[in-house]
Structure 1
Amino acid sequence: MYKIVIVDDEKNIRLGIQAMINREFADKIKTFVAMNGEEALQVLNENDIDIVITDIKMPGMSGIELIHHIQDKGYNPALIILSGYDDFQYAKEAIKCKVKDYLLKPINRAELFQTINKILNEFVSTSLKEDQQKSEFRSSQLNNILLNPNIGEDEIQRISEKLHLSQFSEGYYIGLIKSNEALTANEYIDSIKPLIERHFSKEMSSFIYFCDKDDNIVFILSQIEVFHYLKKVISEEKYIKCRLSISEKHMKLKKLKEAYNQATYTWKYHFLYPRSILISYEEIKEKTMSVELPLDLIHKVSNMIGTEREKELRLHLLSIFDYERISSQPIMYIEDLSKRFNTDVFDYFFNKLGKESIQIFKYYNKVGYIYHYEHFYDYFYAVEDLVTRLHEYVKQVKTVYSEQKYMEKAIAYIHENFHKDLNLAVVSNYISLNYSYFSHTFKEYTGHNFVDYLKKIRIKESKKLLKESDHKVLEISEMVGYKNPKQFARVFRELEGISPKEFRES
């Protein structure tokens, strides 16, 4: 409740103003009255006065002198001046003293209420700004504790005392809330703040919360029951989706960073236990690594990619990423398993296949980090999908590579034997490929069917002989594989537009 003192040497005026304020602001303002400046100062000494309403002209200490005394003593109430029409010089002096308003007698009720409401609204706004500034300062200091790798426990203790965290001196927990939705921590706080204030109005002093660098909402709580209740309330609010984790109890504020690390470490277990809304450090701290990574199976998967062993490949994947085994281990196990699988399978093939595989490995940017996924099965299905894509791609590359070797062999044979009686059947038999398959593949590889390709090779060689040798056209015809000179002349004209003789003479 705000407090106002009304200072006026005329009893009727001060009591009249008091009555008006009491009726209008009964639930907001407590009023005091003083007949002069000395009484007013005594009221200010004994009470935290928010607003002073004072007459300017009074016996003894004037209103202006009162204002100077108030400011000299370090008090900072809002000031309202009352004056008659003939006190203009006093009014000018009062304005220099940063009074909020200057009201003329007789007092207009509406003007008085308007002035008081304006001041009260300023109080609220200022209070909110101060609270916001305090909150931002506290958040920055706490984040400094959490983020600074070199900060010591003594410095943490000093900062904690500076932030007045005495409510946690008998023990505290660090809780973490992370939204499942595409919201920043500040946006998420805005969404749950009404919920918190509605359900924890009496317990608000027993915890504080702020945002960390990873957009988590961090709670410092003196009672773990508050967080359990918060879990219950949030789980019942269908429009709010989030997960929670909490540290074990710590007794010393210098252990804040350790408690925070416990909460962030614990939160990772939501990856393995997606149905749990709240996971506590107490539940998982005893987990120890009891099995080794299945390196032999990872090696086999790497070897099987691109082969005809699809069924075995899938069975090995299921065995490597067996949920029962993984969920029985500490979270580091799946982290290490994922890193090793990335190195031995995905990185290996990416380096081996190079830029040509970029379309496949664009999926790797997400699959390469398990916490890109809300829970284990989402991650596993993504790994399985990428392995399948990679498997099919490697098979395709092997087929193309094999075809390329066959085609290179066929083309070399054609270049060496174009002068002989050569046809598609002879070449396909030479490289041991089906006649039809070879015909189709040869055209895809060279861009020409076999007959046209052979014509180009033969005519190219004949042009060289026509220009560089003295052989007759008939002889050159035979030398490039045409027993019939007329056929040679027809093919030459077909490709070059002139006869062999015209070409030689040109």
Structure 2
Amino acid sequence: MYKLLIVDDERNIRLGIRAMISREFPESFTFMLASNGEEALTLLKNEQIDIMFTDIKMPTMDGIALVQEIQKLDRKPEVVMISGYDDFEYAKEAIKYRVKDYLLKPINRDELKNTVNQVLNELITDKQNQFDFDEYTSNQLNYIFLNPKISEDEIEAIAARLPIALFGDGYYVGALTCLKSDAEDQASWVKGILTNYCNEPPQNILCFHDKDGNVVMITTEDSVFTELINHLPLRNVSIGVSGKENSIRKIKTAYEQAIFSLKSHFILPGRSMIWFEEVSNHFIGDVQPPPIDELKKISNMIGTNRDQEIRIHLLEVLNIDVISAYGLKYMEALHDAINRIILDEAFKRLGEESIEILKRYDKVGDIYHFERFYDYVYELENLILLLHEYNKQLKLVYSEQKYMEKAIKYIHENYNKDLNLAVVSNYVSLNYSYFSHMFKVYTGQNFVDYLKKIRIEQAKILLKNLELKIFEVGTIVGYKNPKRFTKVFRELEGISPKEYQEGFLLKDYS
């Protein structure tokens, strides 16, 4: 909806114009009313007004003076003048300030409708043109940011066609992420906050989304970012700000600085904004190598009885004070080494039986799935200890086949009872998931299929006794439901139990 301001010292005229526009354009406008120029100017400074209808002759501040004052504002509405005087001088003054139309009192309904239609169409066209231009600007800048081989000459040529050419005397790039914002277009949401609270003109602040969904801001004043932090309605916001650059040729570098600062929130928890100067010493240069030997020790301990030692070594490796001192690139290198040396190796030994572990493995595989460092540490420790327990169980099962032999014997002795995987895993004192995995490895079948095979093999023996009825055989081998017995038998043998039994009758007679 558009905001429309009606300024007139006569209350009935204000209400009358509002009523006529409301009837002709339902749900198109929200209305604001003012009785003189001073009231209107206050509203214009605090609200984004799209269209203003104003009388000329008013006390305190008349319409012409109001239009003159509007020229000083960064946000100017489209203006339609209203007057009860058919005076050419007023019309000339209105034209001078690019007023859209000039309506005489009493206002004609059709003329009012035509004027509103005209102004609305222009606003819609301007808005679409601005959207297209903003989209083009965003695409071009993301091309610069993503292109690893782009030259500074090419950057300068592209920038000359974009609004960032205005920032050539010095600018900052900021990157912002809103972890739980409900705003679909966060760039517009941020721009709206800046427009309402920041002293900088809107044209001096460029906002758009990068490929990762971060809001990128380019501005000439670093105070913009402080104002943004002070007025954001959400506290779970992180901002990274580049150093000041004086050449548009360095826009890609400034963006990379901003993203590096933004990502540094991961190892500097509790901060809303990080300036590049605070982390610049870790941006370039050699990276401290991660403690490979310590990680190998942890990997070797997985599956042993050294639970407490695993925790101690892991917490030593993930010491936040050490990581903060070495910087973000060290954290990323450490994370890659943890994935490669600990998680990948443990997962290879485990296989892919556990959906729970797969989900955790996918999440921990990227540190930027987590809002903060301690969230990552908590999840990583849980995953490593879970892998540790699984591998302990696997080692136990592989080295002690008696568990599986005991399980198989139990199944053969109790196949005719109400038997399931949980009952058998409890009997041999193994974790349900581990037992399921190892049973399949050991027998080549899952538990349900294995039990079916045993029951049907026994049923085939019993069916040779022609004195037993079909349902009796089914009950003996563990199927209380005759239909279920027949279905499983046919599934495995291709014929029904009755057909199988009749086959023996034919053999006897022959």
Q: Specify the alignment match of 1:121 in structure 2.
A: 120
Q: Secondary structure at the match of 1:209?
A: strand
Q: Specify the alignment match of 1:174 in structure 2.
A: 173
Whole-angstrom distance in 2 between the partners of 1:220 and 1:107: 49
Q: Specify the alignment match of 2:380 in structure 1.
A: 383
In structure 2, relative to structure 1, the CA distance for the partners of 1:292 and 1:139 (3 Å cut) is closer
Q: Specify the alignment match of 1:323 in structure 2.
A: 320
Q: How many residues align?
A: 351
Whole-angstrom distance in 2 between the partners of 1:29 and 1:355: 70
In structure 2, relative to structure 1, the CA distance for the partners of 1:29 and 1:52 (3 Å cut) is closer
Whole-angstrom distance in 2 between the partners of 1:47 and 1:441: 94
Q: Specify the alignment match of 2:190 in structure 1.
A: 192
In structure 2, relative to structure 1, the CA distance for the partners of 1:390 and 1:124 (3 Å cut) is same
Report deviation, 1:150.
3.3
Whole-angstrom distance in 1 between the partners of 2:126 and 2:256: 34
Report deviation, 1:254.
1.3
Q: 1:30-45, aligned counterparts within 5 Å?
A: none
Assess if the C-alpha contact under 8 Å between 1:178 and 1:244 holds in 2.
Answer: yes
Q: Which of residues 253, 256, 260 is equivalent to 1:261?
A: 256
Assess if the C-alpha contact under 8 Å between 1:289 and 1:333 holds in 2.
Answer: no
Amino acid at match of 2:369: H
Report deviation, 1:52.
8.0
Q: Specify the alignment match of 1:273 in structure 2.
A: 268
In structure 2, relative to structure 1, the CA distance for the partners of 1:114 and 1:388 (3 Å cut) is same
Q: Specify the alignment match of 1:110 in structure 2.
A: 109
Report deviation, 1:385.
0.1
Q: Which of residues 245, 260, 263 is equivalent to 2:240?
A: 245
Whole-angstrom distance in 2 between the partners of 1:21 and 1:409: 97
Q: Secondary structure at the match of 2:207?
A: strand
Assess if the C-alpha contact under 8 Å between 1:156 and 1:254 holds in 2.
Answer: yes
Whole-angstrom distance in 1 between the partners of 2:211 and 2:225: 21
* Superimposed CA distance per residue, residues 143-174 of structure 1 (whole angstroms, 9 cap, x where no aligned partner): 22222333221121112111143431211111
TM-score, normalising length from structure 2? 0.59
Whole-angstrom distance in 1 between the partners of 2:114 and 2:197: 36
Amino acid at match of 1:178: T
Q: Secondary structure at the match of 1:356?
A: coil
Whole-angstrom distance in 2 between the partners of 1:374 and 1:344: 24
Q: Secondary structure at the match of 2:401?
A: helix
Range 157-166 or range 380-389, more displaced: 157-166
* Superimposed CA distance per residue, residues 19-56 of structure 1 (whole angstroms, 9 cap, x where no aligned partner): x9856986634699889xxxx9xx89x96867689xxx
Q: 1:300 and 2:264 equivalent?
A: no
In structure 2, relative to structure 1, the CA distance for the partners of 1:319 and 1:196 (3 Å cut) is same
Report deviation, 1:410.
12
Percent pairwise identity: 34
Q: Specify the alignment match of 1:12 in structure 2.
A: none
Assess if the C-alpha contact under 8 Å between 1:289 and 1:330 holds in 2.
Answer: no
Q: 5+ residue gaps in structure 1?
A: 1-19, 54-79, 81-105, 413-439, 448-452, 461-505
Assess if the C-alpha contact under 8 Å between 1:146 and 1:260 holds in 2.
Answer: yes
Q: Specify the alignment match of 1:145 in structure 2.
A: 144
Whole-angstrom distance in 2 between the partners of 1:365 and 1:208: 35
* Superimposed CA distance per residue, residues 462-500 of structure 1 (whole angstroms, 9 cap, x where no aligned partner): xxxxxxxxxxxxxxxxxxxxxxxxxxxxxxxxxxxxxxx
Q: Specify the alignment match of 1:136 in structure 2.
A: 135
Cα RMSD for the two superposed structures: 4.2
Assess if the C-alpha contact under 8 Å between 2:237 and 2:272 holds in 1.
Answer: yes
TM-score, normalising length from structure 1? 0.60
Q: Specify the alignment match of 1:344 in structure 2.
A: 341
* Superimposed CA distance per residue, residues 361-411 of structure 1 (whole angstroms, 9 cap, x where no aligned partner): 331000111111111111011110001111111111122223315766999
Report deviation, 1:192.
3.4
Q: Which of residues 373, 397, 400 is equivalent to 2:397?
A: 400
* Superimposed CA distance per residue, residues 61-109 of structure 1 (whole angstroms, 9 cap, x where no aligned partner): xxxxxxxxxxxxxxxxxxx9xxxxxxxxxxxxxxxxxxxxxxxxx9973
